[in-house]
Structure formats: C-alpha cells, structure tokens
Amino acid sequence: MICRLLTQAKQYISENKRTLLLFAFLALFLSGAVLFTYFDAFLYDCPVGEVIEVKTEKTGIYHSPIGDEEGHALQTLTLRLINGNNKGKFILCENECTDSGVYDETYRPGDRLLLEIQNGAYTITGLKRDTVAALVFAVLLFAIVAVSRLKGVMTLLSVAVNGMLFSYALDAYLFHGVNIMISALCVSIIFCVICILIVCGWNKKAFASILSTLVSVLIVTVLTFVTIWGCDFEGVFAEGLQYLIIEADYRFTFLAMLLLGSLGAMMDICVSMAAGLQELIEKDHGIARASLNKSGIAIGKDMMGTMVNVLLFTYLCGSIPYIILVYHNGMTLDYSIISLEMVRFLCGGCGIMASVFFSRWICIRLLRGRDQS
C-alpha cells in the first residue's frame, strides 16, 4: 500500500513539475511578504512600540441603569520603540480598558502598537495588525490560485478592478456631488460586466449571465424603491452617518447598500444557471427546451434556499449588536435599524427569486436558440 502511494506520488510529481514549482515559488514569495510585514516598522511615519511588560490595576466597576456591571482597569505598559530616531528607547504608556472591550483594547506582551506624540508624551492610537492581515490575505490568495489556477488569477484581478471602481464611486459621491444611488447603480452594472467577462470570458454564457443579472438588479432596485417610499422610512439609522455633514437623502444610501449587498448573490445564481444549462447543451446538442426548462427549475431549487439564507445571515450579522441591544432593553423589533435590515433581506430575497426565473428564461433562449424539435 505504501509503495503504491509512493509510486503514485512520484508519478504525479514527474507529470506536474512545472505546476508544483510555480506553487512552491508562490508560497515562498507570500511567506516572504508576510514575514516582511513583521519587520516593516521602519516604513511607518508614526512611532511603533513593542509591549515588553504589562501591569494591570482594577479601577472600579460601572453599574448601568438596568443593573449590568462592567469592570474597568488601567494598564501601565512598558514599550520598546522599534523605529524612528528613538529606536530601542523604553517608554511608559497608559491604557484604559473594560471587560467588554467594545470601545477599547487590552494589550499583552509582544503586541506591537502604533503611537503618536502629544505634548511631548506618547499615546496609543491602535494595534499594528498588518502582519495578521497579510497572513490571511496570503492564505486566501494561495488557496484561490491553487484551486482555480488561471480562473483564480482572473478572479483576483476582477476583485482588484472592482475595488478601484468602488473607490472611484465613493469619491464621486463625496466630493463631486453625484447621487449615491446613480453611483451604486452604475458601479453595479460595471461590477457585473467586468467580473463575469474576466472570469467567464467573451462567450454566450457570459452574455446570458450578464443580461439576467442586470434584469434582476433592475427588479430589486424598483421593488426596494417602492417599498422604502411606501413604508415612509426616513433613512438609514446607522451609527456614524450623523457625522456625515453633507446634503443627502439617506434613503438612497439604503438603496445603494441593498443593491451592492445582493449583487454578488444574484451574479452567483445567474452564472451557475448559465454554466449548468450550457453543459447540458454541450452534452446533447439536440436537447429540447422543455428538458432544459425542467433542468433549470431543478438547478434553481437547489440554489434558491441556500442563497436566500446567505442573504439573511449577511444582512442580519451586521445588526447583531443592535438586535442584542433591542432585546436587552425591552424594545420591539419595529425599531428602525432592525426593520430596515428586514426590508433589505425581503427585497434581496425577491431579487434571488427574480434571478432564478430570469436567468433560466434568458439562458435557455440565448444558449439553446430556436427549438428545432
């Protein structure tokens, strides 16, 4: 048994030497990049210090109006500066922390902290997290390339392009007065076209996927627009928007959030439907539309439940703190934040249904053509 496995392994290595060498080079490069971020403090303009010693002193217990208790503590940190003109110097910093850690952080020996100088004293601005972020990104990149090969590389390229487009859309909204709904709609269309073309190539399957996705996006936009204005929601009650001092109707912000949030799920359904139906057509060029329609219904049923649940958890996970707050304080679920999330889920779910129906209808007509049977 062992000899057979060794023989198969040797045969696989001999047949895939080039691929394995490329993977080894990629793994080595990514490992070096992650390791570099651990020693990149010299690139930072602000001081960076490594925690050497921590002394924690309890300062009291806070009692909330509803009887909850939360402990408060003061940390005295001994830091060693690892960059700048004072590299190697030891300093002391204080950090106030709580048991919950909602608005603060608790530091441990070995942590690397970003600092700033105020009135001649060092204060902590946050934790240096680039090494962890680089490690997670490296694992993701390697996994995508290892599993999908060239398709994975094209996927990463589409993500990079979409990220730049999203940044441009935000810039147009914040600094050039472009309506956020128009920006989101245009960006969604460009996202859809670029992503599908890069991943699927220029073919009928890609065209069918793009067309069915755009139809679904249009339906979701109209449905959400009617729902928001029909229910007379005043806007998005999200923490932080009150600090955005610009003239805007935040109902459009909500529409943009829903549109971009459900776009990925709708694209997934449309591409999967097109791929499945195209494979059936390639295996049997004479397959009738009725058979394709039944197969499309079966594919849609398989995807429908999972994608609706994906939307449910995607939208509600961002509201978990608010949901806990609502229940903990005896409030009802008609609280604006929760009701808006429910509307996002319901309208997004309708978008999923539209994607299943229209992707099947469009793909059959574009990929199969006129039925000769």
For the chain, the C-alpha Rg in angstroms (whole number) is: 27
Per-residue model confidence (pLDDT) at position 331: 67
Per-residue model confidence (pLDDT) at position 156: 82
More confident residue, 359 or 8: 359
Token duo for residue 318: 């961002």
More confident residue, 362 or 17: 362
Query: Phi and psi for 120 in degrees, rounded to 5?
Result: 80, 0
pLDDT over 70 (residue 175): yes
Per-residue model confidence (pLDDT) at position 332: 64
What is the band of 249 on the pLDDT scale with cuts at 50, 70, 90? low
Per-residue model confidence (pLDDT) at position 235: 47
Average pLDDT for 299-321 = 78
What string of H, E and C letters represents the secondary structure of 186-201?
HHHHHHHHHHHHHHHC
Under a CB-based contact definition with an 8 Å cutoff, are residues 107 and 75 in contact?
yes
Q: How far apart are CA 266 and CA 192, in angstroms?
A: 10
pLDDT over 70 (residue 164): yes
Sheet arrangement for strand 90-98 = 90-98, 69-81, 48-63, 112-118, 121-127
What is the band of 139 on the pLDDT scale with cuts at 50, 70, 90? very high
- Across 145-159, 240-254, 333-347, least confident range: 240-254
Could you give the 3-state DSSP secondary structure of residue 302? helix
Domain with CATH 2.40.50.140 in the chain: 15-148
Read off the pLDDT of residues 45-77 as tens digits, 9 standing for 90 and up: 999 999 999 998 888 887 766 667 778 889 999
- Across 32-41, 51-60, 125-134, 281-290, least confident range: 281-290
Per CATH, is 15-148 categorized as 3.40.50.300?
no
Runs of H (alpha helix) within 231-364: 250-283, 289-317, 320-328, 336-363
Average pLDDT for 217-242 = 67
pTM metric for this prediction: 0.71
Q: How far apart are CA 351 and CA 337, in angstroms?
A: 21
Q: How far apart are CA 69 and CA 32, in angstroms?
A: 46
Percent of the chain with pLDDT over 90: 14
pLDDT over 70 (residue 281): yes
